[in-house]
Structure 1
Amino acid sequence: MTLALALVALAFALLPAILACANLIALRTPEPRDAQEGLVSILIPARDEEATIAATIRAALASTGIAVEVLVGDDHSTDATAGIVRALAEADPRVRLVSVPALAEGWTGKNHACAALAERAKGEHLLFIDADVTLSPGAAAGLVAHARSSGAALVSAVPRQIMRSLGERLTVPMINFLLVGYLPVPMMRASLRPALGAACGQLVLVDRSVYVGTGGHGAIRGRLHDGVFLPRILRHAGHRTDLVAGHGLATCRMYRSFAESWAGFSKNAHEGMATPRALPVWTLLLLAGHVLPLLLVIAAALGLATSTAGLVALAALIVSLATRAAITLITDEPAITILLHPLGVAVALAIQWNVLLGPRRAGAAVWKGRSYPLNGA
């Protein structure tokens, strides 16, 4: 019995290993070969972001290789966000402060702010970034160059994730691990199937004409997970979307504690993995491939499993950790998170199952002081 379980663990560990090999070859950091023509509108929705907004704007203004404008949408902040943006706008005419209108019924906050910013933008390409994302100088030009050479109407990337607390290191690395280990990037590029579309909402470049023609954020107004649904809307309309390596394009510190991480990943869970159909499949894939090997190795060490089962389980564990190590080192995430991988997988699944089975608080998700009804709640 334990040998059978070990063989299952090895098979499920090999799947993401094979996909990660193909994806890490396919995912490259785009670089502009020449100065790019046109204007990029860098659009930053901001709600109570006084701690990070100045650095985010200054990094965006330092963009090279293409002309940029920087629009910041003040989404009814109660801190000094708007004042900081106004001061920067007085010093550089490329910066504009946009006061986001009152949240309309049926909209989620970020989508509403992004739509308001897009209406005021002048660029041929819209680069949506979160208020805690710091762009590298060549990021905007590189993304535009890749969009033009690949024919993709949307290009997204996961910025290099800054993680300092244990809680962050247990949770945040799953973003890259799930994308690189389980999304078949070459197949995604060869197909327009909406289900294969994926993006990271922290960093998304979109062709403005396509954005307007497909409805942009207005077409997903009631959604919380723009990284899932914006590329699907474009693919439904027949447009290509793509992912590139983002660790050289930008940095981001999403959360600063385990509590923040738990709340943040819970917010989008019901639109991603935490559905009655998807979560059992994800649980099998992740538990069997990344948690079961460790449990079987421990069982063998305690004499609760055969030595053969222990060796097979050890092989599965090595494959699992090697896959995680390759993704971690290439995306420039903290190396210590490699050893935390089995626990990180367990925590990720705990978040998803808590969202699926836990009380839905009157069927609402709460974020940034706002409460949104859950789809299907």
Structure 2
Amino acid sequence: MPNPNFLYLLAPGLAVILLLQVPAFLILLARLLPGIRRPAPLKPALSQPEDLAQVTIVVPTLNEVLRLGPCLAGLSRQGYEVREILVVDSHSQDGTDALVKAAQAKDPRIRLKHDPPLPADWVGRPWALHNGYLFSSPDSEWILGIDADIRPQTGLVASLVQTARAENLDVIGLSPRFILKYPGEWWLQPALLMTLIYRFGAAAKVETQPERALTNGQCLLIRRSLLTQLNGYTCAQQSFCDDVSLVRACVAVGAKVAFRDGKNLIQVRMYEGLGETWQEWGRSLDLKDATPRGQLWGDLWFLTAVQGLPLIMSLMGLGLKMGGVEWLTLDILLALNLGLLAMRWGMVAAVSGSYLPGPGQGLLWLSPLADTLAVWRIIQSSMQQPKSWRGRSYQSF
């Protein structure tokens, strides 16, 4: 039996934790249950005559020559709905220009552009996208932003345009199929991804609340007329999560925005190894640049309650039970946290199709053991403003 003085101090603390976790658990259920009826993953589509030359693709780059090759190869396989493929390069020093010019010789739709020097009040990625919009043909109905690390599958653009037209959408983003290689990635990356799924749940068919809008800027189709209405990407010019800032501005002006499962259409190899995943992806997932301060603090409480604490509280609860402690509060707390862990392993099964099979994939099932670290990374990132990103240094805005 633990020391009575320790138990005397512990009891009210457990009661407070229970009071914090119960409402968060109910919110989590409300967010995840609609996922049972979420839209099916989009599939590749064949080009349609009415979509001829309707899309300008913009690929922002900065020293990403090793990633860009597969991206351009996949874009060259897209159909005749693509009018032009603009690689907007921020004066890379790694051979990007030569790679793009070689690709252009095989596909004349590919064109190399360089954005002007980065203004002091812009982040690099939205600046490149903004200039891509300015460079784009006014005859294109759609602008498709594609990151250099995306590997597009044949039929991607046709599927996006046809889905947008059929559902009268103004913006549509896709979640990818992730390519992981190293054990640390398989363990940590799914835990970081889960922080997004827990906060935003199953994406609505069409999002109508700006503060709930979420997307993936790695592959984002948007009407050119809507970008014109928003003055390009200026609404996201100081945002390190510019994709979310942009779509929330779109929803705020009444645009129809959707976020769909694109695992059949795009693959992505984002970061190399555990350290880079922790550093680079971990600091962009807090979404603080697109989130009011009150909502951000609410998100941190929520993630701590339903993802950060369950493993710790389950182990503590089991230890106390084995030590002979019999409290109703402890029983409820233990049951709640074991239930949260069971849900979390269920979510592993639910997202497993979003990963390309590969060596080390069994560690995906151990990713719930990284949840406390993942939540800590979100908290840590929420308290800091990036000083550098993709090789650029930034002053505080």
Q: TM-score, normalised by structure 2?
A: 0.82
CA distance in 2, matches of 1:33, 1:59: 14
CA distance in 1, matches of 2:222, 2:290: 25
Q: 1:369 pairs with 384, 391, 395, which one?
A: 391
Q: Tell me, yes or no, if structure 1 residue 329 matches structure 2 residue 343.
A: no
CA distance in 2, matches of 1:26, 1:324: 17
Q: 1:57-96 alignment to 2 at 5 Å? A: 57-64=72-79, 66-96=81-111
Q: 1:139 pairs with 156, 159, 173, which one?
A: 156
Cα deviation, residue 294, structure 1: 2.1
Q: Tell me, yes or no, if structure 1 residue 222 matches structure 2 residue 222.
A: no
Segments of 5+ residues of structure 2 without an aligned counterpart are: 1-10
* Residues 307 and 375 in structure 2, CA contact (< 8 A), matched pair in contact too: no
Q: CA 1:165–1:116 in 2, change beyond 3 Å: closer, same or farther?
A: same
Q: 2:368 pairs with 337, 341, 349, which one?
A: 341
CA distance in 2, matches of 1:216, 1:70: 18
Q: Tell me, yes or no, if structure 1 residue 240 matches structure 2 residue 263.
A: no
Q: CA 1:102–1:127 in 2, change beyond 3 Å: closer, same or farther?
A: same
Which is further off, 148-157 or 163-172?
A: 163-172
Q: What secondary structure does 2:66 align onto?
A: coil
Amino acid at match of 2:347: T
CA distance in 2, matches of 1:332, 1:351: 22
Number of aligned pairs?
A: 368
* Residues 14 and 320 in structure 1, CA contact (< 8 A), matched pair in contact too: no
In the other structure, the counterpart of 1:251 is 267
In the other structure, the counterpart of 1:313 is 337
Cα deviation, residue 367, structure 1: 0.9
CA distance in 1, matches of 2:390, 2:195: 26
Cα deviation digits, residues 299-357 of structure 1 (max 9, x gap): 3443256584544532332123213431x2242364532322242x3222222332344
CA distance in 1, matches of 2:239, 2:317: 46
In the other structure, the counterpart of 2:280 is 264
Segments of 5+ residues of structure 1 without an aligned counterpart are: none
CA RMSD of aligned residues (A): 2.9
Q: What secondary structure does 1:144 align onto?
A: helix
Q: What secondary structure does 2:233 align onto?
A: helix
* Residues 293 and 316 in structure 1, CA contact (< 8 A), matched pair in contact too: yes
CA distance in 2, matches of 1:273, 1:208: 22
Cα deviation, residue 257, structure 1: 2.3
Cα deviation digits, residues 116-145 of structure 1 (max 9, x gap): 212222332111011000011121111111
Q: CA 1:368–1:315 in 2, change beyond 3 Å: closer, same or farther?
A: closer
Cα deviation digits, residues 209-244 of structure 1 (max 9, x gap): 211221121332222211211111212222111101
Query: Highest CA radius of gyration, 1 or 2?
Result: 2
Q: What secondary structure does 2:117 align onto?
A: coil
